[in-house]
């Protein structure tokens, strides 16, 4: 049985239906990441699980218990906020022990738990400081420490890294992954950063307009996206999607998608597609070549340096096995007619 | 470009002189009042004013003998303290809900509350007087406390609302996630973070209630009279007694000045404390 289960969960703001009947089952110990564009409802959904937003329909079950209408304080969940939300008038130690003190845990036990967590997070020498005397990264670690000392049923993270600079973000991401491996705690993590989603998640939940588009492991989403939206949302640069008119028509296929790394630049008279190079982005470890096909633009990713020039006529080659096919509604056609490899 | 040390110290001197000048102008009436309180009635009306004289305490003795200062002082303490505490108890939850769970109408409600302060008090005199009379509450401390509380509530709600608005909502949410119920949230998070706001609001309303004269004079001038009514009684049909009036005024404002002086430190401390995020 699922540890945390959302059954047809709904949220209304006045007449606006913000969360539209979400169903999701999360297993114990799983690391789940909610991703989606801004305004897709990922943070709202997390806050509904936290009890910070009321649930207007459906049911929320935790460990076999209905917690749909339980107040946050009784749900036994811990949350790490984007803004850290540390108590400014308390020291690091007081911040981390606050929940345990409220729960009337014995002082010796509190001390032990806090010092253990502080050690794990490299905070031991900062325990007496107040949050304002800490750097952004340290504050974030205190916020995480405050969550882990409690050993809650589920950890909730609301875009916890978005206030950190790029270097620190990478480092903290690795630390969070390590912590999860050590603690094995059930975790729900909201982000709009797909690198975080791909690297941290056991399963990723892609949301759009208050609905789940697809749930799956990071590579499942990458290799077998359920629809055009997921196909283009996961992966940077995004998947090239072309009208099927450029390919021999097959069944109810409406559009065809292919990832940039599955395309190769070849001589002007070779390959299945023809076009002109419009832009070359040399990033060092990879090169992104934008090719104008006349009716559409595609991006080709290659890991070698290129000798191609801007404005050069080139051919683009691909292995038809890597094509993704979508119907008129954007749904992926997974075992439909194989598309012939040759371009028109 | 750097300004020479001479011109910057010149500016400093001008600023210092200006600050002293303004302070003296503001302080002068109070000084004049204090000086007059120690004169005899004859010296008090002398023109030009006397600045060198032998001070006397006879005015203070007479004020106490004639009108029982302590009785009025006690009434002032009770009405202002109780109305302030009562006001905070009502205003704090109101401001809390407006600051942390606002609705579309919150701003309108706040404006409406403030608008009641724009009406001259005398506009409500007749109905309130009749209510107090019918309820048998004329000249009772209870009536004054109720009216002081009511008349200060809009300001209290506004002040607390703007103080609470400065507390990040997520900190309260974090405490809820940590298992805090409403009372824990109030005691461990809102109270320490909002202390500066609560203190300055409380102090302001204490001063307002202490100085309130209109309702004190109209609803309770004998048994429930406050120091404001004591002062007023010295401008009587018998004529103006400047020296005694000054002595009574000085005695009326002295407690609140002393109180303000001491609470200043706490107040500033509280304010900077709240500002630290």
* Angstroms from B253 CA to nearest CA on chain A: 36
Return the structure tokens found at B35.
């000086």
Indicate whether A344 belongs to any domain: no
Q: What is the CATH number of the domain that holds A287?
A: 2.40.50.140
- Percent of chain A residues past pLDDT 70, beyond the cut: 96
Let me know whether A202 and A83 are in one domain: yes
Let me know whether A247 and A206 are in one domain: no
* pLDDT tens-digit map of B146-203: 999 999 999 999 999 988 998 999 999 999 999 999 999 999 999 898 888 888 889 8
pLDDT reported for residue B41 = 85
Give B236's pLDDT tier (boundaries 50, 70, 90). Answer: low
Indicate whether A337 belongs to any domain: no
* pLDDT tens-digit map of A195-216: 999 999 999 999 999 999 999 9
B179–A102 C-beta distance less than 8 A: yes
Neighbours of B106 (CB within 10 A): 14
Let me know whether A243 and A213 are in one domain: no
Q: Say if CB A147 and CB A185 are below 8 A apart.
A: no
Q: What is the DSSP string of B71-130?
A: HHHHHHHHHHHHHHHHHHHHHHHHHHHHHHS--TTHHHHHHHHHHTTTS-GGGGHHHHHH
Let me know whether A279 and A180 are in one domain: no
Tell me the chain B residues in contact with residue A146 when contact means C-beta distances shorter than 8 Å: 174, 178
Q: What is the DSSP letter of B166?
A: T
Number of independent structural domains in chain A: 2
pLDDT reported for residue A338 = 45
pLDDT reported for residue B5 = 57
Reference B229, options B243, B239, B218, B241; nearest CA is B218
Rounded to an integer, the average pLDDT of A42-55 is: 96
A78–B178 C-beta distance less than 8 A: yes
pLDDT reported for residue A131 = 92
Indicate whether A342 belongs to any domain: no
Of B168, B177, B179, the CB nearest to A83: B168
pLDDT reported for residue B18 = 95
Q: Which residues contact A153 (CB under 8 A, 6 or more apart)?
A: A3, A4, A62, A63, A75, A76, A77, A186
Handedness of CA B16, B22, B28, B30 (dihedral sign): negative
Let me know whether A212 and A139 are in one domain: yes
pLDDT at A105 over 90: yes
Q: Say if CB B79 and CB B145 are below 8 A apart.
A: yes
pLDDT at B273 over 50: no
Distance CA A278, CA B101 (A): 53
* pLDDT tens-digit map of B15-74: 999 999 999 999 999 999 999 999 988 888 888 888 888 888 888 888 888 888 888 999
* Angstroms from A87 CA to nearest CA on chain B: 6
pLDDT at B270 over 70: no
Of B168, B184, B276, the CB nearest to A85: B168
Say yes or no: B183 contacts chain A, CB-CB below 8 A.
Answer: no
Residues in chain A: 344
Domain boundary among A209, A229, A249: A229
Domain boundary among A195, A229, A263: A229
B277–A71 C-beta distance less than 8 A: no
pLDDT at B269 over 70: no
pLDDT reported for residue B200 = 85
- Helices B242-275 and B5-37, packing angle to 10 deg: 140
Indicate whether A56 belongs to any domain: yes
Indicate whether A269 belongs to any domain: yes
Domain residues for the domain of A247 are 238-326
Indicate whether A135 belongs to any domain: yes
B188–A71 C-beta distance less than 8 A: no
Distance CA A18, CA A47 (A): 13
Indicate whether A26 belongs to any domain: yes
Beta strand pairing call for B239-240 and B235-236: antiparallel
pLDDT at A88 over 70: yes
A79–B181 C-beta distance less than 8 A: no
pLDDT at A344 over 50: no
Let me know whether A170 and A140 are in one domain: yes
Phi-psi region of A159 (alpha: psi -120 to 50; beta: other; left: phi over 0): left
What average pLDDT is seen over chain A? Answer: 91
Structure-derived torsion over alpha carbons of residues B103, B107, B110, B115, reported in degrees to the nearest 10: -140
Let me know whether A216 and A287 are in one domain: no
Q: Which residues contact B246 (CB under 8 A, 6 or more apart)?
A: B33, B34, B36, B37, B44, B59
Tell me the chain A residues in contact with residue B176 when contact means C-beta distances shorter than 8 Å: 51-52, 71-73
Tell me the chain B residues in contact with residue A134 when contact means C-beta distances shorter than 8 Å: none
A87, A94, A151, A154: best to mutate for the B interface, most B CBs within 10 A: A87
What are all long-range contacts of B120-125, with beta carbons under 8 Å and residues at least 24 apart?
A: B121/B151, B121/B214, B121/B215, B122/B214, B125/B218
Indicate whether A338 belongs to any domain: no
Let me know whether A202 and A300 are in one domain: no
Domain boundary among A201, A229, A257: A229
B184–A89 C-beta distance less than 8 A: no
Let me know whether A177 and A266 are in one domain: no
A86–B174 C-beta distance less than 8 A: yes
Let me know whether A62 and A163 are in one domain: yes
B229 burial (CB, 10 Å; 0-12 / 13-18 / 19+) is buried
C-alpha triplet B99, B101, B107: angle, nearest 5°: 60
For A137, the 3-state DSSP assignment is helix
Say yes or no: A98 contacts chain B, CB-CB below 8 A.
Answer: yes
Say yes or no: A50 contacts chain B, CB-CB below 8 A.
Answer: yes
Say yes or no: B275 contacts chain A, CB-CB below 8 A.
Answer: no
B171–A87 C-beta distance less than 8 A: yes
A78–B180 C-beta distance less than 8 A: no
Tell me the chain B residues in contact with residue A77 when contact means C-beta distances shorter than 8 Å: 177
Let me know whether A176 and A199 are in one domain: yes
Beta bridge partners of B240: B235
Let me know whether A155 and A220 are in one domain: yes
Tell me the chain A residues in contact with residue B180 when contact means C-beta distances shorter than 8 Å: 73, 102
* pLDDT tens-digit map of A177-195: 999 999 899 999 999 988 9
Rounded to an integer, the average pLDDT of A29-37 is: 95
* Angstroms from B194 CA to nearest CA on chain A: 11
Among chain A residues, the shortest Cα distance to B191 is held by: A89
B276–A79 C-beta distance less than 8 A: no
Beta bridge partners of A19: A11
Of A78, A81, A87, the CB nearest to B189: A87
> What predicted TM-score, i.e. pTM, was given to this entire model?
0.81
Say yes or no: B176 contacts chain A, CB-CB below 8 A.
Answer: yes
Of A81, A89, A102, the CB nearest to B174: A81
B174–A85 C-beta distance less than 8 A: yes
Say yes or no: A146 contacts chain B, CB-CB below 8 A.
Answer: yes
pLDDT reported for residue A44 = 96
* pLDDT tens-digit map of B65-118: 888 888 899 999 999 999 999 999 999 999 999 999 999 999 999 999 989 888
Say yes or no: B273 contacts chain A, CB-CB below 8 A.
Answer: yes
Say yes or no: B168 contacts chain A, CB-CB below 8 A.
Answer: yes
Give A93's pLDDT tier (boundaries 50, 70, 90). Answer: very high
Say yes or no: A83 contacts chain B, CB-CB below 8 A.
Answer: yes
Helix (H) or strand (E) holding A204: strand A203-208
Distance CA A322, CA A338 (A): 11
B104, B170, B174, B184: best to mutate for the A interface, most A CBs within 10 A: B174
Domains of chain B listed by start with CATH number: 68-233 (1.10.3720.10)
């Amino acid at each position: 049985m699922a540890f945390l289960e959302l059954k047809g969960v709904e949220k209304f703001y006045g007449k606006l239906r913000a969360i539209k009947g979400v169903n999701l089952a999360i297993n114990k110990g799983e690391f789940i990441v909610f991703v989606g564009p801004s305004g897709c409802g990922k943070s709202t959904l997390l806050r509904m699980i936290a009890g910070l937003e009321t649930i207007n329909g459906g049911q929320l079950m935790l460990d076999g218990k209905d917690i749909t209408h339980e107040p946050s304080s009784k749900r036994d969940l811990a949350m790490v906020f984007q803004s850290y939300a540390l108590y400014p008038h308390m020291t690091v130690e007081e911040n981390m022990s606050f929940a345990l003190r409220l729960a009337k845990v014995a002082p010796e036990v509190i001390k032990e738990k806090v010092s253990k967590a502080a050690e794990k997070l490299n905070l031991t020498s900062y325990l007496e400081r107040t949050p304002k005397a800490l750097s952004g990264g340290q504050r974030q670690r205190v916020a995480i420490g405050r969550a882990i000392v409690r050993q809650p049923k589920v950890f909730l993270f609301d875009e916890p890294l978005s206030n950190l600079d790029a270097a620190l973000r990478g480092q903290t991401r690795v630390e969070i992954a390590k912590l999860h491996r050590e603690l094995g705690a059930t975790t729900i993590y909201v982000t709009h950063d797909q690198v975080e989603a791909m690297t941290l998640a056991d399963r990723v939940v892609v949301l759009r307009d208050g609905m789940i588009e697809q749930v799956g492991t990071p590579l499942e989403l990458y290799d077998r996206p359920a629809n055009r939206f997921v196909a283009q949302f996961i992966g940077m640069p995004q998947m090239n999607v072309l009208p099927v008119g450029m390919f021999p028509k097959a069944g109810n296929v409406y559009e065809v998608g292919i990832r940039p790394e599955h395309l190769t630049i070849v001589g002007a008279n070779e390959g299945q597609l023809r076009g002109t190079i419009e832009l070359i982005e040399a990033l060092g470890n990879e090169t992104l070549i934008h090719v104008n096909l006349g009716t559409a633009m595609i991006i080709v990713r290659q890991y070698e340096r290129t000798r191609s020039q801007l404005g050069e006529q080139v051919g683009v080659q691909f292995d038809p096995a890597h094509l993704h096919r979508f119907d008129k509604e954007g749904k992926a056609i997974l075992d439909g007619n194989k598309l012939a490899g040759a371009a028109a | 470009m750097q300004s020479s040390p001479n011109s910057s110290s010149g500016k400093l001197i001008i600023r210092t002189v200006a600050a002293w000048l303004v302070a003296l102008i503001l302080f002068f009436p109070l000084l004049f009042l204090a000086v007059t309180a120690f004169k005899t009635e004859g010296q008090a009306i002398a023109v030009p004013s006397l600045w060198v004289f032998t001070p006397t305490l006879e005015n203070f003795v007479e004020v106490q003998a004639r009108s029982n200062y302590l009785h009025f002082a006690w009434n002032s303490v009770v009405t202002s303290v109780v109305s302030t505490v009562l006001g905070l108890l009502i205003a704090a939850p109101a401001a809390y809900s407006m600051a942390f769970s606002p609705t579309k109408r919150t701003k309108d409600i706040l404006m409406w509350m403030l608008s009641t302060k724009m009406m001259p008090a005398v506009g409500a005199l007749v109905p309130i007087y009749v209510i107090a009379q019918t309820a048998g509450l004329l000249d009772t401390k209870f009536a004054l406390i109720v009216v002081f509380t009511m008349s200060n509530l809009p300001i209290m709600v506004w002040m607390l609302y703007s103080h609470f608005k400065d507390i990040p909502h997520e900190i309260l949410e974090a405490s809820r996630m940590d298992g805090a119920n409403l009372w824990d949230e109030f005691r461990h998070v809102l109270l320490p973070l909002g202390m500066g706001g609560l203190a300055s609001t409380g102090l302001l309303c204490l001063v307002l209630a202490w100085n309130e004269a209109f309702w004190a004079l109209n609803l309770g001038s004998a048994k429930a009279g406050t120091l404001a009514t004591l002062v007023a009684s010295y401008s009587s049909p018998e004529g103006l007694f400047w020296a005694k009036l000054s002595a009574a005024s000085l005695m009326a404002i002295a407690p609140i000045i002393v109180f303000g002086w001491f609470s200043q430190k706490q107040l500033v401390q509280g304010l900077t404390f709240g500002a630290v995020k």
